[in-house]
């Protein structure tokens, strides 16, 4: 090949290389940058470069970088209303009331004992109306929505105590229709059910719905309460008991499949298999994933192209986290700092750091190209041009 290269006319070789690089000769999938910019009616000046921090990973940086997780901020432990346990009567509930008197001859119990055995009377069951009221003879209309059964019994007793003989009222909820919880979405058996007297927690409600269809690390849980929505990952609820909060009547629990992903760019030999061979977007296969596992899933480093001292992880880090690590963040605006973690893959400690570094949702991993790659590309172009020039000389002889 070298002998062929030396025998080719320099002028013919140069012209061949120019033709090879000419955009008008080779096919294109889309307009090139020159065509797009030239035909623009308006162009703006490039913005200043985005400031970012590059951190060479060492044991100290590794420790505090792993201190932040994908946890949703502990939102369920901060649900408004606190831990809900007491069941209250709601609109639409079916309520039963029994009134007792100390002896016969009072308001409800006749004097003739043979006429009515016992010293109590059952009021016909009622459904709580849209205004939240029920009606009790001689007590009138009583607003019961939002009250416990015991509180309603006390109200009835107070209203009839001057007419009945030492009355007592027992109130029970026969059927709950207003105080229900819904579990919807990616659950195996979505349902609505009444709140238990002792209350029910998030995981208990999900269990009643048959559990999530998807793995915990791919499942997000949303609770809608009082016009607000709170989000937490299923894995976080399992790992942190304080997130398994009590649910309240009217809560809607919605399960959705939201796989966490990471992206790998640069010099890796296998872009992946999700959605096609050219995909560089990968999903987590477990609750956690390290940088070493992520690069292994992408096929490892390309031995002919990768610059092993320059493996990077790009993400946005909280400014207070960097500040607590002693990093000067005064020049950065906002609460998040674009941060680049640098791993030296050519050293054993860099490999150990990568095997401990926790990847987070939407991290971008970049394996830079070796400087020699451009030289190899040039020689490949030269060899291709030489072959073309030799063929031209052969045809013109």
In CATH, the number for domain 76-85+179-257 is: 3.10.560.10
Is residue 145 within 8 Å of residue 178, measured between CB atoms? yes
Q: Give the residue extent of every domain in the chain.
A: 53-70+261-374, 76-85+179-257, 94-175
Q: Identical fold at 53-70+261-374 and 94-175?
A: no
Average pLDDT of each block of 10 consecutive residues along the chain (397 residues)? Answer: 48 51 60 83 84 92 83 72 69 93 77 63 93 93 92 94 90 87 96 86 96 95 92 92 89 95 86 54 90 91 86 93 86 91 93 94 91 57 51 54
pTM: 0.71
> In terms of DSSP bridges, do strands 191-194 and 133-136 run parallel, antiparallel, or are they unpaired?
unpaired
Please give the pLDDT value at position 314: 96
Provide the token pair at 112. Answer: 């003739």
Please give the pLDDT value at position 72: 59
Lookup result for tokens 């033709």: 19
Which superfamily does 94-175 belong to? wza like domain (3.30.1950.10)
3-class DSSP assignment, residue 17: helix
The whole-angstrom separation of Cα 27 and Cα 385 is 17
Domain spanning 53-70+261-374: which CATH class is it, in words?
alpha beta
Please give the pLDDT value at position 389: 46
Is residue 248 within 8 Å of residue 220, measured between CB atoms? no
The whole-angstrom separation of Cα 286 and Cα 260 is 10
Please give the pLDDT value at position 373: 56
The whole-angstrom separation of Cα 215 and Cα 186 is 11
């Amino acid at each position: 090949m070298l002998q062929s290269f030396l025998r080719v006319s320099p002028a013919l070789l140069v012209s061949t290389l120019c033709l090879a690089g000419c955009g008008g000769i080779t096919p294109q999938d889309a307009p090139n940058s020159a065509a797009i910019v030239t035909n623009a009616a308006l162009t703006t000046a490039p913005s200043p470069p985005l400031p970012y921090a590059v951190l060479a990973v060492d044991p100290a940086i590794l420790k505090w970088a792993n201190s932040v997780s994908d946890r949703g901020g502990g939102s369920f432990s901060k649900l408004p209303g606190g831990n809900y346990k007491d069941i209250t009567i709601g609109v639409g509930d079916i309520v039963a009331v029994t009134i007792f008197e100390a002896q016969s001859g009072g308001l409800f119990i006749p004097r003739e004992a043979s006429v009515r055995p016992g010293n109590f009377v059952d009021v016909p069951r009622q459904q709580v109306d849209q205004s939240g009221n029920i009606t009790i003879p001689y007590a009138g209309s009583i607003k019961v929505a939002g009250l416990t059964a015991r509180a309603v019994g006390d109200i009835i007793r107070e209203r009839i105590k001057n007419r009945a003989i030492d009355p007592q009222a027992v109130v029970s909820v026969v059927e709950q229709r207003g105080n229900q919880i819904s579990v919807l979405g990616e659950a195996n058996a979505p349902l609505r059910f009444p709140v238990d007297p002792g209350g029910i927690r998030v995981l208990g409600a999900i269990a009643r719905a048959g559990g999530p269809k998807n793995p915990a690390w791919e499942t997000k849980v949303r609770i809608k309460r009082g016009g607000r929505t709170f989000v937490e990952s299923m894995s976080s609820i399992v790992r942190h008991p304080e997130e398994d909060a009590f649910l309240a009547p009217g809560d809607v629990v919605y399960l959705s499949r939201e796989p966490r992903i990471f992206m790998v760019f640069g010099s890796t030999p296998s872009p992946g298999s999700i959605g096609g061979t050219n995909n560089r977007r990968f999903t987590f296969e477990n609750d956690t994933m390290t940088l070493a596992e992520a690069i292994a899933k992408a096929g490892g480093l390309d031995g002919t192209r990768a610059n092993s001292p320059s493996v990077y992880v790009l993400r946005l880090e909280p400014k207070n986290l960097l500040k607590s690590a002693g990093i000067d963040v005064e020049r950065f605006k906002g609460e998040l700092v674009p941060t680049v973690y640098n791993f030296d893959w050519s050293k054993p400690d860099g490999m150990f750091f990568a095997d401990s570094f926790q990847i987070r949702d939407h991290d971008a991993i970049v394996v830079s190209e070796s400087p020699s790659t451009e030289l190899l590309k040039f020689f490949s172009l030269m060899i291709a041009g030489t072959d073309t020039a030799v063929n031209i000389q052969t045809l013109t002889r």
